[in-house]
Amino acid sequence: MTSSWQTSLLTEGLVLDRHALGEIWMSIPVMVFAFSHTPIISTFAVAQRESHGEGAMNNCKKIMRVAYFVICCSVLFFVFSCFLSIPAQDITAAKAQGLTILSALSMVPGTPAWLGISGFIVAIVAMSKSFLGTYFGVIEGATAIVKSTLGAAGMSRSRAFCRALSITLISLLTFVVCYINPNALAMIYAISGPLIALILFIMPTLSTYLVPALKPWRSLANLLTLIIGVLCVSVMFIH
Give the 3-state DSSP-derived string for 156-211, with helices as H, strands as E and coil as C: CCCHHHHHHHHHHHHHHHHHHHHHHCCCHHHHHHHHHHHHHHHHHHHHHHHHHHHC
206: nearest Cα among 234, 189, 229: 229
User: pTM to 2 decimals?
Assistant: 0.66
Query: How far apart are the C-alpha atoms of 6 and 67, rounded to whole Å?
Result: 30
Cβ atoms within 10 A of the Cβ of 186, count? 10
Element of type H or E holding 105? helix 101-106
Q: What is the pLDDT of residue 66?
A: 92
Q: What is the pLDDT of residue 239?
A: 59
The 10s digit of each residue's pLDDT in 137-149 is 788 888 888 989 8
Q: What is the pLDDT of residue 54?
A: 84
Query: How far apart are the C-alpha atoms of 142 and 135, rounded to whole Å?
Result: 10
Q: What is the pLDDT of residue 69?
A: 92
pLDDT in tens, the chain (239 residues): 666 777 776 666 666 777 777 778 888 888 887 787 777 787 788 888 888 888 888 898 899 899 889 988 988 888 888 778 777 777 777 777 767 777 777 666 666 767 667 767 877 887 787 777 778 778 888 888 898 988 888 888 888 899 999 999 989 998 998 888 888 777 877 787 888 888 888 898 999 888 888 888 888 888 888 888 888 888 877 75
The 10s digit of each residue's pLDDT in 180-195 is 888 877 787 778 788 8
Residue type, 195: L
Return the sign of the alpha-carbon dihedral for residues 11, 13, 15, 20.
negative
Burial class (CB in 10 A: 0-12, 13-18, 19+), 140: middle
Query: How far apart are the C-alpha atoms of 138 and 173, rounded to whole Å?
Result: 13
Q: How far is CA 173 from CA 13, 51, 135, 176, 194, in A?
A: 42, 35, 13, 5, 22
Q: What is the pLDDT of residue 3?
A: 67
Query: For residues 232 and 205, is the Cβ–Cβ distance under 8 A?
Result: no
Q: What is the pLDDT of residue 45?
A: 85
List b or e across 200-238, with b for residues whose CB sees 16 or more CB atoms inside 10 angstroms: ebbeebeebeeeeeeeeeeeeebeebbebbebbbebbee
The 10s digit of each residue's pLDDT in 80-111 is 887 787 777 777 777 777 677 777 776 666 66
